[in-house]
């Protein structure tokens, strides 16, 4: 008996170690997003992107520490006479552990992982609004998003008390299954993509991006940084997706690593097929439309990301072939979706976050509802709902009915309503206050020169003070 409990004890340490390491990989997505975005902007805005992506992590971390975790997971509870945890908080928002007060040490590792998730959501936006948003506005929304918008939403689907959560213990599950957004194609990527689209829309396009409603080329300045960003994000996905499983061993000491490994395989196949399919599709379309042969880096890179995001949410519940097909879907959707937003919506989203994270994040929530395999869902969520009786639902195209699909569609609508309902007024308020967008003169000069003290790249002939006159 003492040996068993000893076993249980150190197994939780092993799982914490696994989650922490995964969290560190997710942190690298900050650098990945930064470099991807740097590569896609013009030289005059490079320094602002560099700063914004350090501030994502920093201001976002402060927001998540002060408020975010509390709203997401700060559920009041007590342990009853039987040793069971009884939660008392409501289905919409948590209410304690602000600034990690009265925090259970045992959950430290979970905080780290949730923190890097929150700042990932914030950083998705920075690229879409690049080159014309005021830095103050950026600082405010990074805080607003990580302290309020994202945490509340994750409470709904990932807290054991959330109204949409499949692990809800305080009331009935949504449609009897809860929404399956296991790894966050929805809560992270789609939310980030929606907020990005909202920001880019309220801001309006960069000057010169559209002439007479027709988009003009405004290509990024550095392919190497773009490519580095893609591969660093891919690397980070190996933390993001498998790490969300939260453990490498079941608490009772039984096998779990295969679920984690399945997440890594889904990620790999999603990225591989997404990249190749997007590349091929663009080659064929361009050939037909213009007669030219173009193997396009941009397509391969963003296609790989699209593929990975489509398989993110359900990565632990897919057969490899289902992840591969998900990757193909992601790769095929990139071009039409980005053309739609550019040519029809007239949205100037510098990094196509609306498509990569928004569209593909939405598809990811659907993909989990469609292709989650019964036995695999049970490995993650158990064989029954929290009531201990109702069998777990699984994917429609895997033999179950469309229950999860229904719940996930409701979840998609809820995320859309909440995110746009929060972010559009937020950005409009900043606009009305004159705090959203730099002046046209500042934009043409470049935000680096007008707000960040000088150019990102200098050659040895550069002269004069570049950083505000105090030093350097």
| Residue 358 near residue 415, CB atoms below 8 Å | no
Tokens 């560190």 found at: 24
13 forms part of the interface with a second copy (CB under 8 A): yes
Tell me which stretch binds a second copy (CB under 8 A): 150-158, 159-167, 423-431, 448-456. Answer: 448-456
CB of 421 to a second copy, least distance (A): 28
What residues between 300 and 329 interact with a second copy by CB under 8 A?
Answer: 300-301, 304, 320-321, 324
Is the Cβ of residue 85 or residue 465 nearer to a second copy in the bound state? 465
CB proximity list for 304: less than 8 A, separation 6 or greater: 230, 234, 271, 272, 274, 275, 278, 331
CB-neighbour burial class of residue 76 (10 A; exposed 0-12, middle 13-18, buried 19+): middle
Q: Quick one: residue 388, left, alpha or beta (phi over 0 = left, psi -120 to 50 = alpha)? A: left
CB of 228 to a second copy, least distance (A): 6
73 forms part of the interface with a second copy (CB under 8 A): no
CB of 267 to a second copy, least distance (A): 9
CB proximity list for 348: less than 8 A, separation 6 or greater: 200, 204, 205, 206, 209, 210, 215, 342
Q: What are phi and psi of 332, to 5 degrees?
A: -80, -25
Tell me which stretch binds a second copy (CB under 8 A): 7-15, 81-89, 169-177, 385-393. Answer: 7-15
SS3 133: strand
What residues between 246 and 265 interact with a second copy by CB under 8 A?
Answer: 248-249, 253-258, 260-262, 264-265
Q: Which of 77, 91, 148, 297 binds a second copy (CB under 8 A)?
A: 297
242 forms part of the interface with a second copy (CB under 8 A): yes
Half-sphere exposure of 167 (CA within 13 A, CB side): 14
468 forms part of the interface with a second copy (CB under 8 A): yes
Is the Cβ of residue 168 or residue 452 nearer to a second copy in the bound state? 452
Half-sphere exposure of 254 (CA within 13 A, CB side): 3
435 forms part of the interface with a second copy (CB under 8 A): no
96 forms part of the interface with a second copy (CB under 8 A): no
Tokens 């229950």 found at: 403
44 forms part of the interface with a second copy (CB under 8 A): yes
239 forms part of the interface with a second copy (CB under 8 A): yes
407 forms part of the interface with a second copy (CB under 8 A): no
């Amino acid at each position: 008996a003492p040996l068993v409990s000893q076993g249980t004890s150190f197994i939780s340490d092993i799982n914490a170690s696994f989650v922490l390491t995964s969290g560190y990989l997710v942190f690298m997505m900050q650098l990945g997003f930064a470099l991807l975005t740097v590569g896609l902007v013009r030289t005059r805005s490079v320094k602002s992107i560099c700063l914004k992506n350090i501030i994502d992590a920093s201001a976002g971390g402060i927001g998540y520490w002060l408020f975010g975790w509390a709203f997401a997971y700060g559920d009041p509870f007590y342990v009853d006479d039987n040793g069971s945890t009884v939660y008392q908080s409501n289905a919409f928002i948590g209410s304690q552990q602000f600034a990690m007060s009265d925090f259970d040490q045992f959950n430290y590792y979970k905080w780290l992982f949730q923190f890097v998730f929150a700042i990932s959501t914030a950083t998705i936006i920075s690229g879409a609004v690049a080159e014309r948003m005021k830095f103050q506005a950026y600082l405010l929304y990074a805080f607003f998003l990580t302290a309020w918008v994202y945490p509340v939403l994750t409470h709904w689907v990932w807290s054991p008390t959330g109204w949409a959560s499949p692990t809800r213990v305080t009331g009935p599950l949504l449609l009897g299954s809860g929404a399956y957004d296991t790894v966050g194609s929805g809560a992270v990527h789609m939310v980030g993509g929606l907020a990005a689209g909202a920001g880019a829309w309220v801001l309006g396009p960069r000057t010169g991006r559209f002439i007479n409603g027709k988009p003009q080329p405004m290509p990024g300045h550095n392919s190497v940084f773009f490519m580095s960003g893609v591969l660093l994000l891919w690397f980070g996905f190996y933390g993001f997706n498998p790490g969300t499983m939260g453990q490498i061993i079941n608490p009772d000491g039984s096998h779990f690593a295969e679920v984690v490994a399945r997440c890594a395989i889904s990620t790999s196949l999603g990225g591989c097929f997404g990249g190749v399919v997007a590349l091929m599709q663009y080659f064929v379309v361009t050939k037909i439309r213009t007669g030219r042969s173009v193997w396009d880096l941009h397509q391969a890179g963003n296609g790989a990301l699209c593929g990975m995001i489509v398989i993110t949410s359900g990565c632990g519940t897919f057969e490899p072939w289902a992840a591969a097909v998900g990757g193909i879907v992601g790769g095929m959707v990139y071009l039409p979706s980005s053309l739609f937003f550019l040519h029809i919506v007239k949205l100037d989203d510098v990094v196509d976050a609306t498509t990569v994270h928004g569209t593909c994040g939405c598809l990811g929530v659907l993909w989990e509802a469609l292709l989650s395999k019964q036995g695999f869902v049970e490995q993650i969520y158990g064989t029954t709902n929290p009531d201990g009786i109702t069998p777990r639902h699984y994917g429609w195209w895997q033999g179950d009915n469309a229950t999860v699909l229904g719940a996930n569609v409701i979840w998609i609508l809820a995320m859309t309503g909440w995110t746009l309902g929060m972010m559009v007024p937020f950005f409009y308020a900043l606009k009305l206050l004159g705090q959203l967008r730099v002046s046209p003169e500042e934009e043409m000069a470049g935000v680096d020169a007008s707000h960040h003290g000088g150019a990102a790249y200098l050659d040895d002939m550069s002269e004069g003070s570049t950083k505000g006159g105090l030093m350097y």
